[in-house]
Amino acid sequence: MLSSRLLLLSSFFSLLQADETILGVYIFHRHGDRTSKSFAPTTLTDLGYCQVYGSGEFYRNRYIDANASSPIYGISSSVVKNSQLSVEAPVDTVLQNSAAGFLQGLYPPVGATLGTQLLANGTRVEAPLGGFQLIPVNAVASASSAANSENSAWLQGQSGCANAIISSNAYFYSQEYMNKLNSTMSFYQSILPVISGTFTNATDTFKNAYSIYDLIHVSTIHNSSASIPSDNLLTNETLFQLQTLADNHEFNLAFNSSEPIRAIAGSTLAAQIVQQLNSTIVGKSKSQVSLQFGAYASFLSFFGLAQLPQVSENFTGICDYASSMTFELVTNATVSNTSYPSNDQISIRFLFSNGTASENPLTAYPLFGQNETVIPWTTFVDEMDNFAIGDQATWCSQCGNSTGVCASTAASTSSGSSASSTSSPTSSSGGISKAVAGVIGAMVTLAVILGLEAIVMLIGGLRLVSKKRLSGGNVTPETVAPVKA
Ligand SMILES: *[C@@H]1O[C@H](CO)[C@@H](O)[C@H](O)[C@H]1NC(C)=O
Ligand SMILES: *[C@@H]1O[C@H](CO)[C@@H](O)[C@H](O)[C@H]1NC(C)=O
Ligand SMILES: *[C@@H]1O[C@H](CO)[C@@H](O)[C@H](O)[C@H]1NC(C)=O
Ligand SMILES: *[C@@H]1O[C@H](CO)[C@@H](O)[C@H](O)[C@H]1NC(C)=O
Ligand SMILES: *[C@@H]1O[C@H](CO)[C@@H](O)[C@H](O)[C@H]1NC(C)=O
Ligand SMILES: *[C@@H]1O[C@H](CO)[C@@H](O)[C@H](O)[C@H]1NC(C)=O
Ligand SMILES: *[C@@H]1O[C@H](CO)[C@@H](O)[C@H](O)[C@H]1NC(C)=O
Ligand SMILES: *[C@@H]1O[C@H](CO)[C@@H](O)[C@H](O)[C@H]1NC(C)=O
Ligand SMILES: *[C@@H]1O[C@H](CO)[C@@H](O)[C@H](O)[C@H]1NC(C)=O
Ligand SMILES: *[C@@H]1O[C@H](CO)[C@@H](O)[C@H](O)[C@H]1NC(C)=O
Ligand SMILES: *[C@@H]1O[C@H](CO)[C@@H](O)[C@H](O)[C@H]1NC(C)=O
Ligand SMILES: *[C@@H]1O[C@H](CO)[C@@H](O)[C@H](O)[C@H]1NC(C)=O
């Protein structure tokens, strides 16, 4: 009942967007299913390949295809124009391969007709694999030289940001951590028989909450139950507990409202998002699709900075494999060869899919504690600027690094380097307890839904008729993805 109502709502929603033009998108994507981090090198599995490929297909149907539900202005629909795409992933087999798999879904082989070129001497050459399209995946260009990869258990070390490492490590000395470590001691001991091949009595504690969860989570997907020692210990309740503890552990390492530098991964990502979307606008949608593949920790850091935990406590949990968050540049102004909207006519919509978008609904959420899911571009830039770190000098001073790549910038910024990390853009949210924030989040979400419904009542009906006429009665809702089990 409720889901069919939501489905109806989302189909009306797609009609409401009929006048909107998407000028460009930025998609940040998690890798698909992979092998456990306990056994390096970590690799993308066939299941993971399918997940990212499915997500690529989903975004193709939304943005790229000739009859896409929300086509991107000026995008090439079949044969890829590499100038329209910017794809980045850290140099690692899980994330690089996830990007490649996604791109196969986004721009599949074009077949013999389109995939053939004519040479000067009259010979026709067909691209291999039925017109397979080659799309480069670039190494992530972040403010620091190091970028997160999937080969290490905890990713902060790879950020190379001294103050972030110090801040994350401080969590291990917090009372909250000590209490969790103590209160979960016997829980972890109880599952030792399952993981004793990899963990010892000493390492089987909350300190390794993520690594333990990861090993068991991967095993429940890939190992036959007979091959998991003491498999009977892994009840649903225990699995849920392992996941919840890992969520708690990782969120605390990735974000702290009173120490924003801990979320350095989210800060550098924020700068990249603004820079890329801005270049889409400045270039009048000549380059309109930006994609970056990265780790769950970057999601968590960004979620914290963007105040998404106020919308739902779900945003403090590790997102599922092949999750994606998407920033759409949208406008209601006329877009054509001769007229491109000005900055104040452009807005941003934020969407998130928890798991591959082919199976999990891509849902809009309000950023920065606002109550609208579509906000003006200028507001978006101002809010992101509160925590974005996009240039080497700022990165070096905020991170307190003065050697290596920071040696040249150290001289000019050394005076303010340690004090600068104390400014807290999110401190206003620090006083709200999780429970209260959850209630507020639920109410905001409800208000958004109710408000939306009211708009649907007012204008939805008219649009329904016109769209039906236009498309010959073939109204296809854009979010018919099955609800995740
Ligand atoms: C339009 O989409 C439908 C499925 O959604 C597909 O079967 C059809 O081939 C598409 N048409 C074009 C021209 O791409
Ligand atoms: C045409 O040129 C291509 C590439 O140089 C060559 O492989 C092919 O044999 C040529 N065809 C003819 C008919 O000369
Ligand atoms: C920043 O400083 C930390 C701690 O000294 C160091 O581990 C890290 O490699 C430095 N990062 C860079 C990019 O130089
Ligand atoms: C755990 O906490 C209890 C009381 O809260 C304390 O008595 C006990 O010594 C603690 N155990 C460890 C291992 O710290
Ligand atoms: C495992 O560690 C716990 C807590 O450190 C301790 O109480 C227990 O005796 C140890 N068990 C074994 C078999 O060493
Ligand atoms: C799952 O299988 C792999 C090898 O196939 C093994 O290394 C791993 O220990 C197994 N996981 C568990 C929890 O037994
Ligand atoms: C455990 O969860 C799985 C799927 O999540 C479900 O199929 C199964 O019925 C659950 N088992 C119990 C005992 O609840
Ligand atoms: C967008 O790019 C233009 C040209 O490079 C620059 O002048 C402007 O400051 C940028 N705006 C933002 C919000 O980054
Ligand atoms: C949070 O997650 C639960 C369970 O997956 C889901 O039912 C709920 O709709 C989610 N809340 C939001 C705001 O997405
Ligand atoms: C995504 O799903 C996981 C459960 O698999 C949950 O723990 C997490 O909170 C969810 N995240 C969001 C943002 O819904
Ligand atoms: C476009 O207009 C619709 C209907 O008036 C509105 O809901 C939507 O938010 C507008 N979009 C933008 C980007 O202003
Ligand atoms: C939410 O929307 C209402 C009505 O548009 C507005 O009055 C209120 O200030 C908004 N709240 C926030 C936090 O933006």
Structure tokens at 319: 């997102």
3-state secondary structure of 194: helix
The Å distance, Cα 363 to ligand 10 centre, comes to 13
CB atoms within 10 A of CB 113: 9
- Cα 306 to its chain centre, rounded Å, is 13
Q: What is the pLDDT of residue 411?
A: 56
Which mutation among 299, 319, 367, 483 tests ligand 10's pocket best, with the greatest number of atoms within 8 A of CB? 319
3-state secondary structure of 29: strand
The Å distance, Cα 182 to ligand 4 centre, comes to 6
Task: Find the ligand nearest to 235 CA.
Answer: 7
H or E element at residue 106: helix 93-106
The Å distance, Cα 61 to ligand 1 centre, comes to 9
**Could you give the residue ranges of the DSSP H alpha helices within 26-70?**
46-59
The Å distance, Cα 372 to ligand 12 centre, comes to 8
Q: What is the pLDDT of residue 229?
A: 86
Q: What is the pLDDT of residue 72?
A: 96
For the Cβ of 123 lying below 6 angstroms from any atom of ligand 2, the answer is yes
Give the closest residue (by CA) to ligand 5 atom 5: 202
The pTM (predicted TM-score) of the whole model is: 0.82
Go through the chain and tell me how many residues it has.
485
pLDDT tens across the length of the chain (485 residues)? 444 444 444 444 444 445 899 999 999 999 999 999 888 889 999 999 999 999 999 999 999 999 999 999 999 999 999 999 999 998 888 999 999 999 999 999 998 888 899 999 999 999 999 999 999 998 875 544 444 555 444 455 567 888 988 998 999 999 999 999 999 999 999 999 999 889 999 999 999 999 999 999 999 999 888 888 888 888 999 999 999 999 999 999 999 999 999 999 899 899 999 999 999 999 999 999 999 999 999 999 999 999 999 999 999 999 999 999 999 999 999 998 889 999 999 999 999 999 999 999 999 999 999 999 999 999 999 999 999 988 888 888 888 988 887 887 655 544 333 333 333 333 333 222 222 233 223 333 333 333 333 333 333 333 332 333 333 333 222 222 222 22
The Å distance, Cα 213 to ligand 3 centre, comes to 29
Q: Using CA atoms of 332, 334, 340, 342 in order, give the dihedral in degrees to the nearest 10.
A: -40
Structure tokens at 338: 């001769």
Give the closest residue (by CA) to ligand 11 atom 1: 332
Residue 42 DSSP code: P
Closest CA to 328 of 153, 71, 143: 71
